Amino acid sequence: MIQLEVHGEGFSLSYKGRKLIEHNRRRPCLAVGRGDGRYRSVRAHFRIRDRVQERAPCREFRVLNEAAGANEIAQESAERELAGKGLPGRMAVPQVAIEFPGRIRLLCSEEQGRLCMRFADPQSPWNRVWLDLWAEPREHIYGCGEQYSELDLRGKRLPVWSQEQGIGRGRGLITLLAEAKMGAGGHWYSSYFPLTAFLSSYNWSCLCDSPAYAEFDFRDKNRHRLEFWQIPESIRFDVQDSAPAIVGAFSDALGRQPPVPEWTLEGMWLGVQGGPEVILEKIERALDAGIHVSAVWVQDWVGRRLTSFGSQLMWNWRYDAERYPELPTLIEKLHSRGIRFLGYINPFLAIEKELYQEASARGFCVKNGSGRDHYVTITDFPAAMIDLTNPDARDWIKGVIRENLIGIGLDGWMADYGEYLPPGAVLASGESWDAVHNRYPAWWARVNWEALQETGREKEVVFFMRAGYHGSVACSPAFWAGDQLVNWNLGDGLATVIPAGISLGLQGIGHFHSDVGGFTTVAWIRRSKELFLRWMELGTFSLQLRSHEGNRPERNWQFDSDAETLSHVARMTEVFDHLKAYRQHSLKEYQETGIPVIRHPYLHYEGDSQLHGLKYQYLFGRDLLVAPVITPRRSAWTVYLPEDQWIHLWSGREFAPGRRRVAAPLGQPPVFYRKRSPFRETFEAIRREFG
């Protein structure tokens, strides 16, 4: 039930015993206003400013009849104030309406075990809302989508807006150079996958239906401020009695990812390209080294273009007959050897090619203000963008996926991008571009998922995405971390994929991996041997094990650059395969409960406050604690072990809780298992073979 208490010149609103709002005249919980947002985008790196024309605090209030139905309340057919009408000052009610005269009305009701807030009868000029929520001084906040730099958002303010993550992301000289040359430096909060949602270490959550630009501010020790650049459709609160319960309920609300095909949980997906001869040669080299190759991921199946950024693709979504003659035959041959073939697609179209000509002629591309196709510059070439607000355009690109990808035998693909819808874009639906921008990644996910469902092959074929928003999760079999630097940079390198996976997991996303080795090579940055080996270790303790050659393959260390690397890859792939049954168990748990595979340790050790200060170690399933080595030239590593009985995976030595220094040579990253684990025999088998 909703608990409402009126006191003096204010009120407090609680749900299931958790205070959510505290209002008084001096510090009102709500303000409305008008603003004019200004957007500038360079390669999906956004600079956003607001010109606030009016901000009206909602100081005065009156509580309407708590017994009336929501429609009656909205129609003012049964108004009755608490004050002066003999009603108690404190009550538990199934719904309540609070009017802020001359401003806006707040309707609160219990729906499906959650508190739902809606704004009724907003005055026509309002397009800004500021809502303050009650905060506890020692509370920790997680969420707002995928976070690469920070896990605990307490003390932070950040936008909720889908965009490129940036190069360097505010760390070091590389950010300054990327910003100066390409406008692509990014910030600590830049994310492909935002969510207007978060959860608290006090086991409550907030999920907002408001796709326009938003800013969430967690800096005040007593209040969390949510700023919306529209009137939200709804704001939903959930309260549970434990961390696993609130994460599971969060996952229920956002949707559960579809199960991945079983074959994705074993072997390595080799990221290779260059034509059939090169691919087959690399496969043989891998197999000769003892690497279990379950798939090849061939992004240049559509052809290649060379740009100032490096090796990029020809965005024409059919196989390039010059680069890959008779590709369907090649795929069949690989299938006969138990090796699957994955490709690549995104929502852009190369303007030099025939698919663009067809889409443009049929009006399927995003337009500019002059009614022409709106070209978006990605690196140094323009491309058109499919208008996913157009049902006919959606059907068309689904047909392309069914025929040109699934139809020729592809077993999966990277469904890239989604965050590029530019300022000023004109859409078939007539909606404003800024009301659509955050939703576009979710529509891109749905198009891919529906195309897969329409072929009936969703249990065999997989795709993976980097961009997302509300609505993405239930349509995306897998997510990957996006484009990291091929180095140790704490803002944009190897380390960042750990908080990325944990943060998505806390929001109920269960299937996550990263490019083994990273992606972005710029300036002096290139992938070293040690970095590749350490990233391979991290990939071993994730759901999929997939390598990437990077945007400049010739400058990066690859899986076959020397014999030692081949041996390391073979070893870690064997460890990966040994954990298949454990992965399946953890995924089944995710499907049933919403608890992710990559977990923040506090989910199972809520009483340990030190865990909230850690962001580079995680639980992999319930029973494995993983602390990847994220700096170079280290042979030992410090790990924090919560209260439990822990066994070192490689040595079999038992460790007491607390901070512990352990040996971490290449091939033996810091990993521990719970002594009471039902998978103890599996872990001991790994120790006997690889310890």
Helices 440-455, 391-400: inter-axial angle, 10-degree rounding: 50
Task: Compute the distance between CA of residue 169 and CA of residue 156 in angstroms, rounded to an integer.
Answer: 16
Amino acid identity, residue 92?
A: A
Answer for the pair 22, 12: CB distance below 8 angstroms, yes or no.
Answer: yes
Q: What is the DSSP letter of 403?
A: I
Amino acid identity, residue 121?
A: D
Helices (H), 262-390: 276-288, 327-336, 354-361
Task: Compute the distance between CA of residue 118 and CA of residue 235 in angstroms, rounded to an integer.
Answer: 7
Q: What is the DSSP letter of 81?
A: -
Task: Compute the distance between CA of residue 19 and CA of residue 303 in angstroms, rounded to an integer.
Answer: 57
Q: Let me know if 428 is exposed, middle or buried by CB neighbors in 10 A (0-12, 13-18, 19+).
A: middle
The residues, ordered by sequence, that sit 6+ positions from 681 with a Cβ below 8 Å of its Cβ are none
In this structure, the number of other CB atoms found within 10 A of the CB of residue 198 comes to 25
Q: What is the DSSP letter of 472?
A: S
Determine how β-strand 462-465 pairs with β-strand 478-480.
Answer: parallel
Q: Is 252 a catalytic residue?
A: no
**In Å, what is the CA distance from 167 to each residue of 149, 192, 578, 582?**
13, 13, 36, 35
Q: Is 132 a catalytic residue?
A: no
Q: What is the DSSP letter of 67?
A: T
Q: Quick one: which H or E segment has residue 216? A: strand 214-217
Nearest Cα neighbor of 140 from 642, 619, 615, 657 is: 615
Task: Compute the distance between CA of residue 337 and CA of residue 193 in angstroms, rounded to an integer.
Answer: 37
Task: Compute the distance between CA of residue 662 and CA of residue 582 in angstroms, rounded to an integer.
Answer: 24
Amino acid identity, residue 302?
A: V
Q: Quick one: which H or E segment has residue 663? A: strand 658-663
What is the Rg, in whole angstroms, of the alpha carbon atoms belonging to the chain?
A: 26
The three-class DSSP label of residue 158 is strand
Task: Compute the distance between CA of residue 602 and CA of residue 600 in angstroms, rounded to an integer.
Answer: 5
**In Å, what is the CA distance from 388 to each residue of 292, 367, 426, 603, 606?**
39, 12, 12, 38, 43
Which one of 419, 458, 537, 623 is the catalytic residue? Answer: 419
Task: Compute the distance between CA of residue 163 and CA of residue 213 in angstroms, rounded to an integer.
Answer: 12
Q: Is 530 a catalytic residue?
A: no
Which one of 132, 227, 483, 560 is the catalytic residue? Answer: 483
Task: Compute the distance between CA of residue 257 and CA of residue 587 in angstroms, rounded to an integer.
Answer: 10
Answer for the pair 612, 201: CB distance below 8 angstroms, yes or no.
Answer: yes
Task: Compute the distance between CA of residue 446 and CA of residue 452 in angstroms, rounded to an integer.
Answer: 10
Which one of 227, 387, 416, 537 is the catalytic residue? Answer: 416
Answer for the pair 110, 66: CB distance below 8 angstroms, yes or no.
Answer: no
Strand segments (E) across 317-471: 340-345, 348-350, 376-377, 382-385, 412-415, 462-465
Q: Cite the active site residues.
A: 416, 419, 483
